[in-house]
Structure 1
Amino acid sequence: MIWLGGRDRSAQASRAAADTIILPHLDSAHNLARWLVHDASLAEDVVQDAVARALTYIASYDGGDARAWLMKIVRNVAYDALAVRKRRQAVHVDTCDADGVSIVEDLADPADDPEVRMSRQQDRDALVAALAGLPTELRECLVLRELEEVSYKQIAAITGVPVGTVMSRLWRARRDLMAITKGSAR
């Protein structure tokens, strides 16, 4: 039997906590980061920084909803990264990442023929453009609820606003998204 000193036990406990608290939610964290920063490589940096912060402060995790806890960290890091980028240059909302590759190209496309594929691509482009046209606070609520299937209560915890505000933002986001998509259909 190997005796583990206090420091080694602490490291093992942190690793075990990270495996159960952080790792199961990395895909959701990356998805939220991509929608918030509109840049695949910056989203990867955001998630990496968020995980580093989460690991640093994992001892302060109170045992609540791990997904909401990590998503809140990702959200904060994403906004910090956007603020830094905005100070360096004007933020350009686009459907392409830094390499000029369409963000939508990474999505799986189950279409069999070119016509269906083109139609779906146009729908995705319209959706991405419509989402990009929403104010950030509306877009983040919509992405968290509809794409990540986070509860209203969890969204409130992540964004730091009351549940009623979350509901209002979701209603406004859906209304605005419908108005944008109806306007582009003409």
Structure 2
Amino acid sequence: MPADFHRIASGRPAAGSTSFEAQVLPYLDAAYNLARWLARDDADAQDVVQEAMLRAFRYFDSFRGGDARVWLLAIVRNTFYSLRMKVPPDGMQETFDDDAHAVVDEQPTPEARMLIALDVGALQKALENLPHPLRETIVLRELEECSYKEIASITGQKIGTVMSRLARARERLRAELTRHSTEVRRHDVQ
């Protein structure tokens, strides 16, 4: 991938693109992870990350230092929402394919694997059912391990709003997973 940025940099000094590679590219996985949870689709997430990386590269001169990860994740988030406004709402709302993203562990027994898959599937489904503001907040906090201050910077919200959204997201996840757990126990054969 670095060669692509050198090609795009037509006319920029090599030192600038080297600095970009050193400061921003290490966070490419985090950018994709956030885009994947926001877009709910691999192809859309790849498009968002590609556009976000181009924007980040184009405006890297305006980066004033600080945390490059937070800066990049803010660009990914803003790119997602700006691209989403251009596409009809159903364009990025495909169902999540549990089979393509199932956790596979060869060590446990088939019964244990089934229970693990149920738990992971339930968590993924519960995350998918959260509204965008709650989902992005909990993904940034729990999956990307961003601080409240970093999340506030990325989303453009006040820290109190971030904390409130995080509390509501956790409560909704807890309620959904508790409901799912009760349904599973009800269907167990004794």
Please state how far the C-alpha of 1:165 moved relative to its aligned partner.
0.8
Question: Contact 2:152–2:159 (CA<8 Å) still a contact in 1?
Answer: yes
| Alignment gaps of 5+ in structure 1 | 1-6
Judged with a 3 Å threshold, the aligned counterparts in structure 2 of structure 1 residues 138 and 16 are, in CA distance, closer, same or farther, namely: same
Question: Given the alignment of the two structures, is residue 63 of structure 1 paired with residue 60 of structure 2, yes or no?
Answer: no
State the partner residue of 2:38.
36
Q: CA RMSD in A?
A: 2.1
Of the three residues 51, 54, 62, the one matched with 2:53 is 51
Q: CA 1:10–1:82 in structure 2 vs 1: closer, same or farther (change >3 Å)?
A: closer
Partner of 1:156: 152
Distance 2:12 2:92 in 1: 42
Structure 1 residue 32 displacement after superposition: 0.5
* Deviation (angstroms), 1:184: 1.5
Alignment CA distance shift 1:177-1:92 (3 Å): same
Q: Which deviates more, 122-131 or 9-18? A: 9-18
Q: Report the CA distance shift for 1:93/1:126 in structure 2 as closer, same or farther (over 3 A).
A: farther
The 1-side partners of 2:84 and 2:100 are apart by 18
Secondary structure of 1:104's counterpart equals: coil
Match of 1:140 among 133, 136, 139: 136
Contact 2:39 2:92 in 1 (8 A): no
Matching residue of 1:82: 84
Task: Decide whether the 8 Å contact of 1:14 with 1:55 is kept in 2.
Answer: no
CA contact (8 A) 1:145 1:151 kept: yes
Q: Which residue of 2 aligns with 1:123?
A: 119
TM-score, normalising length: structure 1: 0.85
Unaligned regions of 5+ residues in structure 2, if any?
1-8, 183-190
User: How many Å apart are 1:10 and its aligned residue?
Assistant: 4.0
Aligned pair count reads 174
Alpha-carbon distance in structure 2 between the residues aligned to 1:60 and 1:108? 43
